[in-house]
Amino acid sequence: MEHAPAWLINSLIYLSAAVIAVPLSKAVGLGAIIGYLAAGIAIGPWGAGLVNNVEDILHFAEFGVVLMLFLVGLELEPRRLWSLRRSIFGWGALQVLGCTALLMLVAMACGVGWRLSLVGALGLALSSTAIALQVMGERNLMPTQSGQAAFSILLFQDVAAIPILALLPLLGASSGSNEGLAPMEYAQAAIKIIAVIAGIVLGGRMLLRPLFRWIARSRTPEIFTAAALLLVVGISALMLLVGLSMALGAFLAGVLLAESEYRRELETDIEPFKGLLLGLFFIAVGMSIDFGVLMASPGAMALVVVGFLVVKAVVIYGLARHIQLPGPERPVFTLLLAQGGEFAFVVFQAAAGANVFSAPTASLLIGAVAVSMLLSPLVLVAVDRWVLPRFAGRKGPALEEIAEPQSAPVIIAGYGRYGQIVGRVLLAEGIPATVLDHDADMVEAARSFGYRVFFGDATRLDLLRTAGAGTARVLVVAVDDVEQSLAIVDLAREHFPSLPIVARARDVTHWNQLREREVMLVERELFESSLRSARSVLEVLGQPAHVARQSTMRFRQHNLKLFEKMRPHFKDRTKLIAAVKQGRQQLEEQMAQERAEREKRRGPDWSGQ
């Protein structure tokens, strides 16, 4: 491949490394981010040495972070963003200033000069937006209280990048670097920044929707995708021109389009580019880890990494308590923000250029940030496996786990979308119910609406007894998880054999498993709503309402009879398929015969013409 272009060889290297490392990492439970970082280390200067131009790749791959912020912005309508203003500038300022102050004090106590302490603390106080948002997306944490708080803080950090960079020339050690900008030039720069942001907001509201509507009329999907990318690239270039964060500009563009009718299509078009570039960014971070600096001074590197992680964790955990995050969410929230961030690379390189500190010091700090980004997902895995289970166990009583015996006639196990409907109907009828749910977020959300919900796992016999299973008249099993549902049923059947059970079945297999346990009152998810949709389709096609209702009710009756007929054979695939085919044929013949009789008596009920 001597004559192959460089981009082809590099693409082959990056894609091969990612395709091999990421599935292996996920297979052993370490997650995709660790896979990308490991791939970067393997192909980088300190691995196989297949790629050496790390800086160029890192700058290009940062666009993945930009696209990610654009997609996050698409999920936030302007009203919702405005509602976060206090958390952004309140909690965000507390995190950045608190971490900076404590890190600076610790560094100065160790004999480090105040300039180096201040700039080092400012850079280390920032967190990795890429890793934090990726982890929150994988764990669906964005809608949670901790997810919203973490996002607000990360957004403030992007805003804080502007004054941090502006401060560096003023802290330079040489006289030349202290010249900086004149007050008038600072004022002009500020006016330019305000003008660009105002232009993006006003122009976005007036031009973006008509522009996308015009492009959509061309019915050329690839041009719509190109326009979406052009929007992100153009706004990012504008922000960079005035010294602002590209990611902040992309986020602003996303917010402007959050109420647009093209939001979902934009998400679909941008998502593949975001995923690939973000993966490339993590690979570049892995390649950027300077193991030479690490091996030259391992003690100093370990001291810096452990020191700043511990100091930031103390401040951030205190902040989590101050803003009253739920206990089980605090460890993950702390870890996501304790690590160093990609913007620290820019800060430390700029600081070295401004003679705030030497190039070797900058390399040490950059290496420490990169190592923290590598360690953070690993520590997160350890916390998931060994810390959170114990943590949740200790926090159960704080969430009011049932302590006193209950006497309500109905027990509802699981208060998700299914259990809530059952509970609300009972509440409207004045019938009390004892509700159990093991999801702390769900418990808090339900209580905020005034519902009496207890934190507890209904698969525990002691909690089921305390909930009143011995005297209750009905047990409603409405949990999402199939295995947990069956475990609750088995427990109730063994210890409370006379307690009637009404259960929710996620699918046909679950329905059969419940019936096998002699649960007679089973309702399948989506079955009734699907029938109502089928009835609506028949009516739209011209069938009279009463005929459409009769058709769907007849299908319902036949389907239930067929399920009873199939139940003895649900573990025998051959007999099951035969029963389904026979039942379908009988239904088609019956419905055809009834249609013929209706048409003979009254003429056609509907017409497809």
How many residues can be counted in the chain? 609
User: Is residue 182 scored above 60 in pLDDT?
Assistant: no
With beta carbons less than 8 A apart as the criterion, state whether 267 and 71 touch: yes
Instruction: Taking each helix axis as running N to C, give the angle between helix 92-109 and helix 114-125, from 0 to 180 degrees, rounded to the nearest 10.
Output: 140
Going by pLDDT thresholds of 50, 70 and 90, the confidence category of residue 105 is very high
> Quick one: average pLDDT of 407-412?
86
What integer pLDDT is reported at residue 599 of this predicted model?
62
Residue 59 in 3-state DSSP?
helix
Please give the Cα distance from 254 to 523 (Å, whole number).
41
Lowest-confidence region among 31-40, 214-223, 239-248, 441-450: 441-450
Please determine, for residue 175, whether its predicted confidence score (pLDDT) is greater than 50.
Answer: no
What is the reported pLDDT for 118?
Answer: 92
Question: CA separation (Å) from 599 to 543, 549, 593, 605, 606?
Answer: 12, 17, 10, 7, 10
Average pLDDT for residues 475-503, to the nearest whole number?
86
More confident: 446 or 181: 446
Which is higher by pLDDT, 609 or 524?
Answer: 524
What pLDDT was estimated at residue 207?
79
Q: Any idea which of 176-180, 182-186, 262-266, 306-310 has the lowest mean pLDDT?
A: 176-180
Whether residue 179 has pLDDT greater than 50: no
Strand bridging mode 521-524 / 433-437: unpaired
Q: In the predicted model, what is the mean pLDDT of the chain?
A: 78
pLDDT of residue 608: 45
Q: CA gyration radius for the chain?
A: 30
Query: DSSP state, 416?
Result: S
Q: Would you state the pLDDT for residue 393?
A: 46
- 410 forms bridges with which residues in the sheet? 433, 474
Mean per-residue pLDDT for 563-590?
60
Q: CA 175, CA 127: separation in Å to the nearest integer?
A: 32
Residue corresponding to tokens 């603390």: 121
Averaged over 201-211, what is the pLDDT? 76
Count Cβ atoms within 10 A of the Cβ of residue 278 and give its class: 0-12 exposed, 13-18 middle, 19 or more buried.
Answer: buried
Q: Are 157 and 129 in contact (CB under 8 A)?
A: yes
pLDDT for residue 609? 41
Phi, psi of 474 (to 5 degrees): -150, 140
Task: Work out whether the CA dihedral 224, 227, 229, 232 comes out positive or negative.
Answer: negative
CA atoms within 13 A on the CB side of 307: 19
Question: Per-residue pLDDT averaged across 347-376, rounded?
Answer: 83
Q: Contact, 476 vs 411, CB < 8 A? A: yes
Q: How confident is the model at residue 97 (pLDDT cuts 50, 70, 90)?
A: very high
The DSSP symbol for 168 reads G
Residue 395 predicted with pLDDT over 50? no
Residue 146 has pLDDT above 50, yes or no: yes
For residue 567, the model assigns a pLDDT of 59
The residue that leads in pLDDT, 74 or 560, is: 74
CA 76 to chain centre: 14
458 vs 259 pLDDT, higher one: 458
586 pLDDT higher than 80: no
